[in-house]
Structure 1
Amino acid sequence: MRREIVMGGCYLGMAGHDVFNNRVREIVNTNEHRVVLLALDISNFKYINDFYGMDEGDKVMQDIADFYFINEPLCLASHGIGFDQFRGAYKADNMTDEDVVEYIARKNRIFEKELSERYPLVYQHVYVGLYFYDDPSLDVRMAVDRANLAKKSTKGRFDIPCCVYSADNCNEYLEHMDMSNEFVRACEEERIEIFLQPKISVSHNCVAGAEALVRMKTRAGELVSPARFVPVLEHTGMIGKLDDIMLDKTFAFQRQCIDKGIKPVPVSVNISRQRFTSEDLLKYMLRLQDKYQIDSSLVELEILETIFIDALDAMIDVINALRAKGFKINVDDFGSGYSSLNQIANIPADIIKFDRVFANRSLKSNKGRQVIKSLIEMLKMVEYELVFEGVETKEELDTVVSYGCDVIQGFYFDRPLPANEFVNKYYTGSREITNGT
């Protein structure tokens, strides 16, 4: 039985779309073989083109076609989609699902090892999704889509050699896609908003700053928790777009306050690792500063402690350039990873924000309180500004303040507020804080 049906797709020996679908349908309908469908592509392919040239990229794609499909004895039919996407049908006669998975995983290991030797500058990983086509009533196009969904569900997971379609793993992928699409629509329809949580100076009894926090609204006006969409944006690589939106809205908010005759406090914005390591963050900040005519002291950048330490080498140049332009850098969730304690004096930042877990856990034990007290004293000694996040009770407040931390952020004083409510509450009349909440 011929597998090299026609010269089609993009590669010699692979079938075109219709020929592939018809052949798979024929095999399944006649029960000729037990069929497993494959969807396959490869990571970081564009870097092979960039580092080694287009001819080498073409060779890699033909090698994939040859190794996985054309010269593969189990392959019954195959199809190349565009340039770097492949679909195939293997026979799985007398093989368990586990046998097939191990067979594909072994092929991946062989192929990836060969690529790593040929192209040492580029890390390559083969993504494979599988669908065991045991239901002849299912349209072949839908069956192929299931293999493709299984493949997409493994994107970014280099520890998974291949993934078998199941409702659970693919429903999660579909939910991610739905949330990503909803985020895009929310951006287009101006449904991304900033909420502001105040940072209170206890000694001055007034608001000393704020943190900008993202909120997304549905078309019905309901708020979507950031916990639902931010991890999805990180997973899909769209988090940088959210960072840019939040920065623009923060600069715009500060401009609006100034235009109303208000002297605003500094507002900090969380920035992802993806955006912080990009080449144009400084240019984007300066462009916003020029657009809104805002002093750099009014917009601060926050990055998580764990990311700050892990990716410091990649971020150091942009951090130094931002600080040279007057933008302050906050280390958020300090203590969450315990990785920075041996680098305290060398962290290129201006403000340290204690992780809320200190308030929720460490303040409840004598040892924990002593650790916090010592850290506050040490950080002040090396001239960092301090913010204690997550304070919710009067007892926690009094303890932290007695240790020397003056600026507090947490539900004891206030929850995150819509921008207009923040202005009305903290900028109208006196800025003095009369009651905790």
Structure 2
Amino acid sequence: MMDRAVMLIVDDVEINRAILSQFFQNEYEILEAPNGKEALDILETRNVDIILLDLIMPVMGGMELLAVLHKHPRFQDIPVVVTTSQGLLNSEIQALENGAADFITKPYNPIVVQCRVRNVMARQENEWRKERQRLQAEKISAMQTLIETDQLTGLYNHHTMLAKTAEMIQENRATQYCIVYLDISCFKVINELFNMETGDMILKTAAAYFKTVVGNRGLAARLSADHFALCMPENALDMELVIQGLDAVMRSLAVYRSIMFYAGVFTVDNVYLTVNKMLDRAHMAMNTVKGNYNRRFAYYDEQLRTALMEEQMLVRDMEGALDNNNFCIFLQPIYDSATNKIKSAEALIRWNHPQRGMISPGVFIPVFEKNGFVTRLDRFAWESACRFLSRQRDNGLDVVPVSVNVSRVNMYDHNFVDYMTSLLAKYDLEPWMLRIEMTETAYVDNPTQMVKILRRLKNAGLTVLMDDFGSGYSSLNMLKNIAMDILKLDMKFVQDIETSPRAATIMKSIVNMAHDLGMDVIAEGVETEPQVSFLRDIGCRLIQGYYYARPIAADEFMDKLMAE
């Protein structure tokens, strides 16, 4: 006989609890609580499948309990149906906004109440059922061309891991499982220092160890390259021992380099979550310790959950923000320190969120680079810059050039240069008016592609700037291979010139070298008079930083130009 689902009825009026219990006593195991506080006590000790919740109660009311449930990682996915009196529309709306799945009104109609609860439970179950059906369909399709195991290591491959893990968790709901995500630090370097055979030996040795660790209690998989995953019962997992044993096995290979694995662990607290999302959360936890010699593993916790919720909020709002013009460009002027006049400007994207105010690009740009939305955001910024350039001209001003940033993703867009030239044509701009800023990282990722793109930009007459020069490891080699027009010195150099004679010497040498190569130099992050004086003395006249101006709105920048 299958265990019945558990329903928690929370209402301070005993007769109401009795009526609802009578409606559902044949389908559910019924638990009762007279207020939100006692309901929480029950939830701490019992697994509950659905909650019927009255809104107005003493000690802790329904709205307060809803807020607690919504924030609690264990309880936030339990469906809640609120009970209200007729005519309390605002309360019903507020409850739904706070996470309630549905509402029922007093006096209770048994047929309506039962239908609404049944529909809520059906939606909850269907979510997982659809996911499992999708995974099964993918498995059937994949099995036509692929076998279940990774050819090199004999572990499950990624697709099989998803299906098998989902199946295991669903069939053993009473067991608390953990998902472990592991990878090797600097595995690419190991392959380059030695050879592919050595790299393969490391992967196969690790795989054999993981098979031993999980035994017949769980699953092990090679997801890709040096990325592995385990699924094990929580009570069988000791991460300290796992890492210690892995280190010992790697040392036995006698490879002349320390082979270090890092791991992230996600404790499965919601069986309806897809396995891909479980892996993502374990991966997030791993990234918090990767490269740390003192900590080799980390658990997904509330802090990481908050970061994930933040990311999901950004992704949820990004399309509407673009449609509703919540994004805009700010412009930071670049001054000639000899004349104290504006020579050019950099366009910087900003997000003015209707509820959260101004969101820093450092928060949303990494998220949009990951999901690809940055390509559309870049195009928005480019066109906004062109629109501003045309406004300058239409106002009868001597046009001040504006530089725009290009993300790494757009470096792989074959239509990138054509799109830029089409913008120039659309707004009737000269190529020198719009400048392109690229980062050293884009060069390191794909030098050949960078050279091709740069050549096409130069042929189109566009000015190209190398942003954050000196922040990476390939700066000088890049100058040898690529003819840039302007170098923008990394602000770290500027910040150190007042306290470090070595930094000042390096700065002077870079400026002289750039001039010898026919390039202008812009110093970023300039904040003090001594910094300006030093830069002027070594021949770097173009200054960007808070000493002259912070990034400002386009209209304010236009007023500044007209005042000059």
Structures share fold, TM-score greater than 0.5: yes
Q: CA deviation at 1:142?
A: 4.8
Alignment counterpart, residue 221 of structure 2, candidates 87, 98, 108: 108
Q: What's the CA shift string for 1:19-38, capped at 9, x where partnerless?
A: xxxxxxxxx99xxxxxxx9x
Q: What's the CA shift string for 1:384-416, capped at 9, x where partnerless?
A: 111111111110000011000111111111111
Tell me: CA distance 1:143–1:255, structure 2 relative to 1, closer, same or farther (3 Å). Answer: same
CA contact (8 A) 2:348 2:404 kept: yes
Tell me: CA distance 1:299–1:292, structure 2 relative to 1, closer, same or farther (3 Å). Answer: same
Choose 1 or 2 for highest CA Rg: 2
Q: What's the CA shift string for 1:263-298, capped at 9, x where partnerless?
A: 221101111111122211012112212221111111
Secondary structure in structure 2 of the residue aligned to 1:404: coil
Q: CA deviation at 1:345?
A: 3.6
Q: What's the CA shift string for 1:88-122, capped at 9, x where partnerless?
A: 6568979988789953997323x75xxxxxxxxxx
Q: What's the CA shift string for 1:178-235, capped at 9, x where partnerless?
A: 1122222211110111100111112333111000011110115821111221122123
CA contact (8 A) 2:521 2:540 kept: yes
Q: Say which structure, 1 or 2, has more relative contact order (CA 8 Å, 6+ apart).
A: 1
Q: CA deviation at 1:351?
A: 0.7
Tell me: CA distance 1:279–1:363, structure 2 relative to 1, closer, same or farther (3 Å). Answer: farther
Q: CA deviation at 1:375?
A: 1.2
Q: CA deviation at 1:349?
A: 1.4
Secondary structure in structure 2 of the residue aligned to 1:289: helix
Q: Residues 14-413 of structure 1: matches in 2 within 5 Å?
A: 58-60=144-146, 78=167, 89=171, 103=214, 107-109=220-222, 142-145=270-273, 147-153=275-281, 166-220=301-355, 222-413=357-548
CA contact (8 A) 2:285 2:304 kept: no
CA contact (8 A) 2:521 2:542 kept: yes
Greater alpha carbon shift after TM alignment, 149-158 vs 404-413? 149-158
Q: What's the CA shift string for 1:97-154, capped at 9, x where partnerless?
A: 8789953997323x75xxxxxxxxxx79687888979xxxxxx995222755323346
CA contact (8 A) 2:346 2:402 kept: yes
Tell me: CA distance 1:334–1:71, structure 2 relative to 1, closer, same or farther (3 Å). Answer: closer
Partner letter of residue 331 of structure 1?
A: M
Cα distance in 2 for residues equivalent to 1:224 and 1:181: 15
Partner letter of residue 428 of structure 1?
A: M
Tell me: CA distance 1:412–1:76, structure 2 relative to 1, closer, same or farther (3 Å). Answer: closer
CA contact (8 A) 1:387 1:406 kept: yes
Cα distance in 2 for residues equivalent to 1:333 and 1:258: 30
Cα distance in 1 for residues equivalent to 2:176 and 2:283: 30
Q: Counterpart of 1:22?
A: none
Q: CA deviation at 1:328?
A: 1.1
Secondary structure in structure 2 of the residue aligned to 1:204: coil
Q: Counterpart of 1:14?
A: none
Q: CA deviation at 1:339?
A: 2.2
Cα distance in 2 for residues equivalent to 1:130 and 1:261: 70
Tell me: CA distance 1:341–1:368, structure 2 relative to 1, closer, same or farther (3 Å). Answer: same
CA contact (8 A) 2:165 2:231 kept: no
Tell me: CA distance 1:223–1:102, structure 2 relative to 1, closer, same or farther (3 Å). Answer: farther
Cα distance in 1 for residues equivalent to 2:157 and 2:548: 61
Q: CA deviation at 1:308?
A: 2.8
Cα distance in 2 for residues equivalent to 1:314 and 1:157: 33
Secondary structure in structure 2 of the residue aligned to 1:383: coil
Cα distance in 1 for residues equivalent to 2:364 and 2:425: 31
Cα distance in 1 for residues equivalent to 2:231 and 2:177: 17
Partner letter of residue 371 of structure 2?
A: T
Q: What's the CA shift string for 1:19-67, capped at 9, x where partnerless?
A: xxxxxxxxx99xxxxxxx9x99xxxxx9xxxxxxxx8785238779x96
Q: 2:557 matched to 1:428?
A: no
Cα distance in 1 for residues equivalent to 2:534 and 2:160: 71
Partner letter of residue 306 of structure 1?
A: T
Tell me: CA distance 1:256–1:127, structure 2 relative to 1, closer, same or farther (3 Å). Answer: farther
Tell me: CA distance 1:326–1:155, structure 2 relative to 1, closer, same or farther (3 Å). Answer: farther
Cα distance in 2 for residues equivalent to 1:234 and 1:278: 14
Cα distance in 1 for residues equivalent to 2:518 and 2:146: 54
Q: What's the CA shift string for 1:409-434, capped at 9, x where partnerless?
A: 11111111100000101x2143xxxx
Cα distance in 1 for residues equivalent to 2:233 and 2:384: 45
Partner letter of residue 326 of structure 2?
A: R
Please, which runs of 5 or more residues in structure 1 have no aligned partner?
A: 1-27, 30-36, 41-45, 47-54, 80-86, 113-122, 134-139, 431-437
Tell me: CA distance 1:382–1:67, structure 2 relative to 1, closer, same or farther (3 Å). Answer: closer
CA contact (8 A) 2:158 2:221 kept: no
Q: CA deviation at 1:363?
A: 3.7
Q: CA deviation at 1:312?
A: 2.1
Greater alpha carbon shift after TM alignment, 217-226 vs 266-275? 217-226
Partner letter of residue 409 of structure 2?
A: Q
Partner letter of residue 348 of structure 1?
A: A
Identity of aligned residues (%): 26
Cα distance in 2 for residues equivalent to 1:398 and 1:192: 36
CA contact (8 A) 1:199 1:409 kept: yes
Q: CA deviation at 1:368?
A: 1.5
CA contact (8 A) 2:165 2:219 kept: no
